[in-house]
A and B are shown apart, each in its own frame.
Chain A
Amino acid sequence: MDEKLQNLKILIVDDEPDLLDAISINLELMGAVVTTANNGLQGLEQLKKGEFDIILSDIRMPECDGVEFLKSAKEEFKQIPPFFFLTGFSDYSTETIQRLGANELVSKPFQVGELVELILKHTSKSA
């Protein structure tokens, strides 16, 4: 297995534990270092603890949803890594998401390969 995502630090925020597991395992197999959080608040705590190369977040979540999470992160940190939304359904269009500061809107269900492509695209640019 090639390790495309060698040492890439990824934060995934989603309220669905199974989905978190499935994505994490896939990405870890590719060499990424994956941290997970169940909602926006937890995500923020993780952000405070350590640095990440990329953040993937669901939008609809209990307590603190993805959009609030993004806003809070932007307020607290001067600079945040590339930010992807993973969503099954939302009322936000791609344009709105981009205006908020997110880089991509990935619709669930997605193919892991496509997701990896997008991650690489954004991390290599930033790197």
Chain B
Amino acid sequence: MKNMDIKKLVSSCSIFIAVASLYILFSWLLFSGDSQIIQINQSWAPIQFNTALLMLLSSLAVFFNERAPRLTSLVMLFVALFSGLTLIEYLSGINLYIDQLFVASHIEAHTTHLGRMSPPTTLAFILFASAFLLWSNKLRFHLLAGVLIQFSAVLVVVSLIEYGFGVSTTFAWGNRSKMSVATGVLFVLLHFSLFLMVFSSYKRLWRPYVYLSAFACILVGVSSWAAYFTHRSKVLSQEISLYGASFEQLFINEIHNRKNAFDRMFDRLESSESYYNSKTAQGDYQHYLKDYHDLDEIMVAKVKETVWKSSQYFSFKINEPPGIAWQKHTIENLKNDHQVMYYYRLSDQILMRFRIDLNSFVDWLLKDKNYAIKLSGKDKFYHFNGPESKEFKEWKYSHSFELNGSETVTLTALPNQNFHSHDQAFLSFLIMLLVFAFACFVAYVVDLSFSLNNKREKLQGLNTKLDTLVNTLPVGVFQTDARGSCMFVSQKWNEITGMNPRQAFGVGWHKTIHPEDRTMVLEAWSQVALDKQNFNFRYRILRQQDQSVAWVQAYAQPVTEQGVASGGYIGCILDVTSEMNAKAELEAQKLIVMQSERMRALGQMAGGVAHEINNPLATIEAYVTLIRSVIGPQDLKNKEKLVQATHKISKTVHRISSIIQGLRIISRDGSNDELEEIRIKDLLDHTLSISTERIKKHGVELIIDESINQDIVLHCRETQISQVLVNLLNNALDAVSDHEKPWIKIWAKVSGERIEINVSDSGKGIEPALQDKIMNPFFTTKDVGQGTGLGLSISSSIMKANNAELTYDNNETYTTFKLVFPAA
């Protein structure tokens, strides 16, 4: 059933109850207790004003519970207190004056106390209110609330059933006020509403079979108990009726005896005014009674025990005739209002009661002493023709057996209704319920085992799916507890980190974090775990299989149990190494582009300069040639020196030209050039033309190894290789400038298919730890601002673009970088 449907059902139930209760309340107040509305049938028990009031409050509490939980709880607390006080009245016998607090009651069918709710009604209200309070207020005692509702509902149902069968042995508590049919019906609806609310708000407890069978079991238990007592009552009543002439005779004799006693008492009363309320009178009364019992022929009874409780109340017990063991005979003087109430009780059950109004007795005795004597003359019925009093009038409405059938009765006896004639049907009904309950229980057990099996299978299926999912995900899944200890890692996690689950458990996984990132990651992790935040971090790991470095992106989320973070985490790591590499590559490319932009600008300038300078150089050269050719044939003094001078001028012109050529080559963006055949000699000439001066200026010796055949041809882009060489020379210069005897050496070597150009310097090699990193972008050993860390990285990629390779040679004693070309 959907939640909305349940809510609608509950709302309509509570509205119905509220309307019905209001109707009854108004009939009490406005229609002066219209018995048609309150009782429906004149012979049925009325629904008391208090009952209707509490019913209205309860239904409103159910209806408004969601909107005003605190207020409704207070209202239900009031309901529980009020019914609790009523119950206390029953149990202790004291009057708290709450029965007719709101309205004076006058209907007394099935009523022992005017306006007072019947005991089962109070009990049902207490249980209902307790269940309601347990359920609301976020106490979450759903199960306990459910049990209380069931118990209360059973009380109501059994009361209704008993009422229907005319049995009130147990649930009206003897002859006390009975729960009316209307109350029972409204209660059933009320309980149903609360039951639905409790279990719809807590779906996990929604097991109709369980509650139906539990309900039936409680019902059967209580009913059996009731049936037992009903049966017993029947037996006893038969015994009683068999005993002596009749119970009525017993009663009549009793009246006789009272009359005699009172006769004698009032004889003495005449002589003394203060006698009436004195202990003497009471003592006399007991004495006379004792006499009577001693003389009694039918019930050979003795006063066994006399209890003096207060000046207003006294009672005594008499020994029962053999066979009727628990019969008690009690006399109560209620509130000193001159009424004497007689009860014949079997156990706690009132078999018969009657009362005598002392006032009227007194009045009557004073008026006409002889009238009392008349009483004894009558056979069975006694006519008390004393003055009609208000107190007796109320008895007219009670369902009573009147001795004289007259409305001016002052002596009333109420025959008991406990001996029902339908006990056979009642017992059959109980047996049917028992069978039904058992059937429900069996159905529940079968259903439970089926659903458990189903659930287990579903769970297994789900587990398999989850496993498959976790293992096919491209990410490594892991789980940690609140302290960050690893509890689970997936297959993929093993693959990414190279660590097996057993090693990863606990804090083992820390080992996978790259040592340089470890502190940072663990600190970030503990910070995040403290705030129960999501973890999203990128760090390096050390693959356990080969100690290689990889980048991972780790995501983790706190595990929640019923909306509360338990402290543990579930997360995953994603291998982002290629992404990071691509990023670095991109960054490097960007810098290369920037570098070449700069170079291009320089190249353009160098081109302009070259043009501007080469023209005058050509002019100089041409004039020098002219001079030489002019002085050639002439016989001049110092002619040799002049010719030499012209040659020197020519040489200088070529040097200037060569420098400019080198500058042009080095500053060009050669990346789009075709691969060309370049002689090593030309390459070195062009490169060195611009570097030599700088190297020499720093006092560094430049050694060019001439031993190699410099006509060897390389297949490359001259511009780019020159750039690489210049870069290597610059690095070398920076490295050696503070050496004592600094030198840089360039030497070539041909070995098989390879041509090597080596650049060595007076440095003693690079630290082994750094050797792997020097080719990485942005790696630099120079001071901040001195180097970009791009030189070797860019050089390396330039070499690759020329089908060649730049390597560091760690076999050499001195720092040596190699340009390795394939033989052209």
Contact = CB atoms under 8 A, between A and B. Distances in A.
Contact of A19 (B612, B618, B625, B654): B618
A108 B617 contact: yes
Nearest to B621: A109
- Please indicate which of the listed interface residues A18, A86, A89, A109 has the most CB atoms of chain B within 10 Å of its own CB: A109
Interface residues of A, number: 24
Given A19-B619, A89-B607, A26 B625 contact: yes
A110 B616 CA distance: 11
Contacts of B653: 109
Contacts, number: 75
B501 to A, nearest CB: 65
A113 B632 CA distance: 14
A112 B622 CA distance: 6
Contact of A16 (B615, B630, B657): B615
A18 B611 contact: no
A29 to B, nearest CB: 6
A108 B661 CA distance: 11
A109 B664 contact: no
A107 B626 contact: no
Contacts of B35: none
Nearest to A86: B618
Interface residues of B, number: 27
B623 interface: yes
A5 B466 CA distance: 96
Nearest to A14: B615
Contacts of A1: 629, 632-633
A105 to B, nearest CB: 13
A90 B615 CA distance: 12
Given A18-B619, A19-B619, A91-B607, A108 B614 contact: yes
A100 interface: no
Interface string A58-77: 10100000000000000000
Interface in B711-733: none
A96 interface: no
A15 to B, nearest CB: 9
A24 to B, nearest CB: 9
Contacts of B611: 60, 87-90
Contacts of A60: 611
B620 interface: yes
Contact of B619 (A22, A29, A107): A22
Contacts of B657: 107-109
A90 B614 CA distance: 11
Interface string A90-113: 110000000000000001111111
B628 to A, nearest CB: 9
A16 B610 CA distance: 15
Contacts of A118: none
Contacts of B613: 88
Contacts of B630: 29
Interface of B: 607-608, 610-623, 625-626, 629-630, 632-633, 650, 653-654, 657, 664
7 contacts: A29-B630, A87-B611, A88-B615, A108-B614, A109-B617, A110-B621, A112-B621
Kindly list the 10 A-B residue pairs having the minimum CB-CB distance in the complex, ordered from nearest: A88-B614, A22-B622, A108-B618, A89-B610, A112-B625, A109-B617, A89-B611, A109-B621, A109-B618, A108-B614
Given A23-B622, A87-B611, A89-B608, 14 more contacts: A16-B615, A16-B618, A19-B616, A29-B630, A88-B610, A88-B611, A89-B610, A108-B617, A108-B621, A109-B614, A109-B654, A111-B625, A111-B650, A112-B621
